[in-house]
């Protein structure tokens, strides 16, 4: 569940709460007053909140672990990992964690409130213009570069529902609960598959090798293909079949779907989608630099 409020309305400065608004508060967590529920997932609820020292400034989002998960070590670890990584890394395209309470119940993390729509929701309305798709992908790549460089961890769950796009086009990468270090990734093949299967790198579902930062680049490539082509590069009804396709099936050339697509863009997409991690670009930073050049070259295209 993203720690953000999805809306098509432009972002505005928080308005001062009226006395009547305060009577409608739905709860409290430590110094945080919960104003209203913004969203809910299987594990978490997300509330719009204000700090007791700044009444009326409801400009925070609090992600709480549901009470029924307070004894589940896996669910608690996700919350703790998000708090740890979110307070360790800083970048304009990553959602920061401002405060957290994850040592004991109630478990929660606090972030700024961000107004926008998930990329997943935007794609339901049709594919974006090529320059916008490249811009969103470049911002996600820059967020990944900061994450990789500042923490040594990979995101592990890059997908459209974890990218929030603001009214001004600013993209924010969300949900750091699945972040893993290079040492931890070696054991992933023995764990339940993390992330969404449509975006998962081949090495993350095989014991042949470990995952690293280039696994995030594969997921970024799937997302970029989807934005440009209007559909996923690999699709299947059965999870086992989809996993096998990620390992072995070659995606249809994106220029077969979009014949007007410049060859350099198609080249980047398919290099990101390489089955062997060594054939993908070296780093998220290198991908971001290439996307900047492509943005400029494709600025006037649709």
**33: enclosing H helix or E strand:** strand 32-40
Could you tell me what percent of the chain has a pLDDT over 70? 86
Q: How far is Cα 147 from Cα 89, in angstroms, rounded to an integer? A: 6
pLDDT, residue 234, reads 94
User: Model confidence over 138-187: pLDDT tens digits?
Assistant: 999 999 999 999 999 999 999 999 999 999 999 999 999 989 886 665 44
Q: How confident is the model at residue 196 (pLDDT cuts 50, 70, 90)?
A: confident
- Per-chain mean pLDDT for the chain: 87
Q: Which pTM was predicted?
A: 0.86
List, in order, residues 6 or more apart from 84 with CB less than 8 Å away. none
pLDDT, residue 1, reads 52
Q: How confident is the model at residue 205 (pLDDT cuts 50, 70, 90)?
A: confident
Query: Is 157 one of the annotated active-site residues of the chain?
Result: yes
- Domain map (residue ranges) of the chain: 5-113, 117-297
CATH 1.10.510.10 for domain 117-297, yes or no, is yes
161 DSSP assignment: G
Q: Which of 53, 157, 212, 216 is catalytic?
A: 157
Q: Are 114 and 8 in contact (CB under 8 A)?
A: no
Sheet strand arrangement including 5-6: 5-6, 115-118, 163-165, 171-173
Q: How far is Cα 155 from Cα 178, in angstroms, rounded to an integer? A: 6
**Architecture per CATH, 5-113:** 2-Layer Sandwich (3.30)
Mean of the pLDDT values across residues 68-77? 94
* φ, ψ at 286 (rounded to 5°): -65, -40
């Amino acid at each position: 569940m993203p720690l953000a409020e999805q809306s098509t309305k432009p972002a505005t400065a928080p308005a001062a709460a009226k006395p009547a608004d305060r009577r409608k508060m739905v709860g409290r967590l430590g110094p945080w007053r919960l104003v209203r529920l913004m969203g809910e997932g299987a594990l978490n609820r997300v509330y719009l909140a204000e700090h007791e020292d700044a009444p009326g400034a409801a400009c925070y989002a609090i992600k709480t672990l549901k009470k029924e998960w307070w004894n589940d070590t896996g669910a608690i670890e996700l919350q703790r990992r998000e708090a740890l990584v979110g307070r360790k890394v800083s970048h304009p395209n990553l959602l920061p964690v401002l405060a957290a309470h994850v040592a004991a119940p109630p478990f929660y993390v606090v972030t700024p409130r961000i107004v926008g729509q998930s990329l997943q929701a935007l794609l339901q309305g049709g594919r974006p213009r090529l320059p916008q798709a490249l811009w969103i992908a470049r911002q996600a790549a820059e967020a990944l570069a900061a994450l990789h460089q500042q923490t040594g961890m990979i995101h592990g769950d890059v997908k459209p529902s974890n990218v929030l796009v603001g009214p001004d086009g600013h993209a924010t990468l969300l949900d750091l609960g699945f972040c893993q270090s290079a040492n931890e990734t070696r054991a992933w093949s023995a764990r339940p598959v993390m992330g969404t299967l449509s975006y998962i790198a081949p090495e993350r579902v095989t014991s042949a090798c470990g995952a690293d930062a280039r696994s995030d680049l594969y997921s970024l490539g799937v997302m970029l293909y989807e934005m440009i082509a209007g559909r996923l590069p690999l699709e299947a009804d059965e999870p086992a079949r989809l996993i096998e396709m990620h390992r072995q099936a070659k995606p249809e050339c994106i220029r077969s779907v979009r014949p007007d697509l410049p060859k350099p863009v198609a080249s980047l997409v398919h290099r990101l989608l390489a089955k062997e991690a060594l054939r993908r670009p070296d780093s998220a930073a290198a991908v971001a630099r290439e996307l900047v050049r492509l943005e400029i070259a494709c600025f006037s295209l649709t």
